[in-house]
Structure 1
Amino acid sequence: MVKNNPWLHWAAELQSIAQAGLYYGKDVFDHERYERIREIASLMVAEMTEQPVEEIWQLFCQNVGYQTPKLDTRAAIFKEDKILLVQENDGTWALPGGWVEYNLSVKENVIKEVKEEAGLNVKATKIIAIQDRSKHNSPEYIYGVCKVFVDCELIDGHFEKNSETIASDYFSIDQLPPLAEQKVNAEQIKMCFDAHFANNWEVYFD
């Protein structure tokens, strides 16, 4: 389990309160106070991460409305006893996937991401798990993320190098390459193996 930084958690909670206040609040003076709370939260995160406060503001304080977690899908595609991973530009490997588009369902999004990153056409067959990223992956993010792992059946297609991935290959559970831990770790890949080969898999959720 990932150990949380309490200060980062508190800063994220302050930002969430400020965001909701800016959306639902009616009083102009309250808006000024919520903007200041948001600014302080950004300064706290910038101090902790040693990142420019402008970058933190762009990432941390641009959403409106009630703050909810982002949704990330990851596809588990198997060939015999090996799982498909794609290599990112930094050389690390991950399950194909990404943020869910606003106009796509989870199923539609995972199919789209596999096509874009691995060049494959797949059928999404079952949900493996719905995880709170903060409980499983590092480093910590300053916003919530729900990760949805989906077992997929290969139809056809072939890999072509693209702007997001430079290679793809199938790996056995005991010969995994260096992973993009912020996206997927060995424990999560093992979970995908267990789910794929189980006769009656029960969806895991946090």
Structure 2
Amino acid sequence: MEPKWLEWAKQLQSMAQAGLAYSKDIYDIERFEEIRKISIDIMAHHTEIDKTIIKDVFAGDTGYATPKVDIRAAVFKDQTILMVKEKSDGRWALPGGWADIGLSPGEVAAKEVKEESGLDVKPVRLLAVMDKKCHSHPPSAAHVYKIFIQCEIIGGRLQQGTETSAAAFFAETELPPLSAPRNTKDQIERMFTYLKHPQEPVYFD
């Protein structure tokens, strides 16, 4: 689970962002600006990242603060699952990425699989909606919901993508080194549970 200081910093940033979006009183706006500054100070103190970068990345949004959405595709072949090797860290993950404006979750899953592995797929089933903070990912400045969608192969061939250096299928007992910010061992194992037990209900939280 994420450390308390990160939880507090994100809560303060969320309150400040909402307050700045809806407040009209100049004194309230000043207070929310100060709350946002405190959230930036907390992040800077614990991460040693420059405050300007933190402000742009962590505290630069406007409007009501909402979680980001990360969509991952579970693509099975026989008793194996598709994974892609990320160029950014050299580790493996389910194909996926941030949700795109204008695309449904299923469309995002299919797009990411094509871009990262070369395979054409169709989304067939929602498997899980997980709050990233409830799982053993490294701490993240963003509050993220992760959506896992099962997809079926309809064409294409395996190849690397712009952000991936390889794509391959792995058995549950032979998983490669995982990209922990993107997926955990427990999450991959849960995907295999759906392969073995198709009637398993959708997982959430």
Instruction: Provide TM-score, normalisation by structure 2.
Output: 0.96
Question: Aligned partners of 2:177, 2:166: CA distance in 1, in Å?
Answer: 13
Aligned residue for 1:174?
A: 173
Q: CA RMSD in A?
A: 1.1
Alignment of 1:103-122 (within 5 A): 103-122=102-121
Unaligned runs of 5+ in 2: none
Q: In the alignment, is residue 154 of structure 1 matched against residue 153 of structure 2?
A: yes
Hey, what does 1:16 align to over in structure 2?
14
- SS state of the match for residue 8, structure 2? helix
Name the counterpart of 2:135.
136
Render the CA deviation track for 1:126-168: whole Å, top value 9, x for unaligned: 0111000011132111221110111110011123333210000
Structure 1 runs of 4+ aligned residues shifted over 4 Å read none
Q: 2:65 aligns with which of 57, 63, 67?
A: 67
Question: What is the distance in 2 between the residues matched to 1:134 and 1:159?
Answer: 32
Identity %: 44
Residue number in structure 1 paired with 2:52:
54
Shift of 1:104: 1.3
8 A Cα contact 1:132 1:147, kept in partner: yes
Q: CA offsets, 1:64-120, max 9 Å, x none?
A: 111111111100111111101000112100000000012211111111111111111
Worse overlay, 38-47 or 17-26: 38-47
Opposite residue 12 of structure 1, the aligned amino acid is K
TM-score (structure 1 length as normaliser) = 0.95
Give 1:34's aligned amino acid.
F
8 Å CA contact 1:151–1:196 kept in 2: the answer is no
SS in 1 for 2:56: helix
**1:83 aligns to what?**
81
